[in-house]
Amino acid sequence: MLTVIQWVYLFIILLIAFAGGYFPFAKPGQVRTNGGFPRGEAFSAGVFLALSLTMLLPASFHIFQQELPELDYPIGSVIAIIAFLGLLAMEHMTMHSIGRERIRTENERLPARIPLVMTTMIALPSFFLGTTLGMSDNTAATLIFIAIILHKGTAAFALMLTMVRSTLSRTQIIILFTFFALITPLGIILGGFVHNDLSASTALLKAIVLSLGAGTFLYMGTLHEMKHASLIEHCGKRSCFLAMVAGLFITALVRFVVGEAHRF
C-alpha cells in the first residue's frame, strides 16, 4: 500500500491536473496569453535529468545485479534506451501527423483524433512517472512529485486547449481529460503495490520499471515536445539555464545525502 505522504501526492497531482484544464474548458473562447512558467519547467528538466541518471538507473542496476548476478550486461541501460527512443519515435510520428492536420484545418476546428493522439502520447510517460513515484521511498518520491507537478499543470492546460479547439463534444472532452488526469495516480497506486511485494519476480519487475522510468525521465528532461522542449526553448536564457542547473544540483545533492540509490 501507499504511504500517507504518497496518498497526499496522488491527490495533489490529481487536483493540479484538473486545475490546469479548468480555465480553457470553462472559457474556450479565450486563448493563452502568458508565457507559461519557463523557470519552473527548466528547473523540472534538471530534476528529471538527475533523477534519471543518479537515482533510477543506478537503482535498476543494483536490483538486476542482485537478481541476475550471472548476467554481465547493462540490461537496465538497454531498457532505458528503449523507453527513450520509443517515446521519441511516438512523438515524431504524432507531431508530424498533427502538424499536417493543423495545416489542412487552419481556419477550422481540429479533428477529434488530434486530442486523442496527444492524450495517448502524454499518458504513457505520465503513467511511468506515477509508477516510479509509487515505488519510491519518501525522499526520492518527494523529488519525483516536485518534477511531476511542475509539468502536470502546463500539460493539462495545453491538452485541454487542444480539446476545446477540436470537434469533440463537451462530454467527450470530460471523459478524455479525466483519463489523462487519472493516469498518473493509477501509476502511483500500481507502483505502491509492486514496491510492497518482495518476491524475486516482482524485484525484476521493479528493476524493469525503474529502467523504463529512467528512460522516461531522461526523455522528459531533454526532448519532450521536441523543439519546444524546455532545454531548447527556455534554457538559452541565463535565468532558466541556472534554474535547470539548480534543479539538477539539488537533486544530485539529495542523492548524495540520502546515500544508496537502490533504496526504492
- Reported as a pLDDT band with limits 50, 70 and 90, residue 227 is low
pTM of the complete model beyond 0.85: no
Please give the C-alpha separations between residue 231 and each of 18, 46, 89, in angstroms, as whole numbers.
26, 9, 19
Q: What is the mean pLDDT of the chain?
A: 79
Domain assignments of the chain as residue spans, ordered by start: 4-25+43-258
Cβ neighbours around 260 below 10 Å, total: 10
Average pLDDT over residues 88-94: 78
- Reported as a pLDDT band with limits 50, 70 and 90, residue 19 is confident
DSSP one-letter code for 3: -
In DSSP terms, 166 is beta-bridged to: 110
Asked if residues 186 and 130 have their Cβ atoms less than 8 Å apart, the reply is yes
Does residue 84 carry a pLDDT above 60?
Answer: yes
Average pLDDT over residues 223-247: 72
> Which of 119-133, 180-194, 250-264 is the most confident on average?
180-194
The crossing angle, in degrees rounded to 10, of helices 200-222 and 75-104 is: 50
- Reported as a pLDDT band with limits 50, 70 and 90, residue 247 is confident
Please state which of the ranges 46-55, 106-115, 185-194 shows the lowest mean pLDDT. Answer: 106-115
pLDDT number for residue 79: 94
pLDDT number for residue 262: 47
| 167 or 224, which is more confident | 167
| Residue 253 CB partners (closer than 8 Å, separation 6+) | none
Does residue 27 carry a pLDDT above 70?
Answer: no
- Reported as a pLDDT band with limits 50, 70 and 90, residue 31 is very low
Asked if residues 178 and 18 have their Cβ atoms less than 8 Å apart, the reply is no
Please state which of the ranges 94-103, 151-160, 166-175 shows the lowest mean pLDDT. Answer: 94-103
- Residue ranges of alpha helices (H) inside the chain are 4-26, 38-50, 57-67, 75-104, 113-135, 138-164, 170-196, 200-222, 230-233, 238-258
> Which of 14-18, 146-150, 201-205 is the most confident on average?
14-18
pLDDT number for residue 229: 62
pLDDT number for residue 182: 94
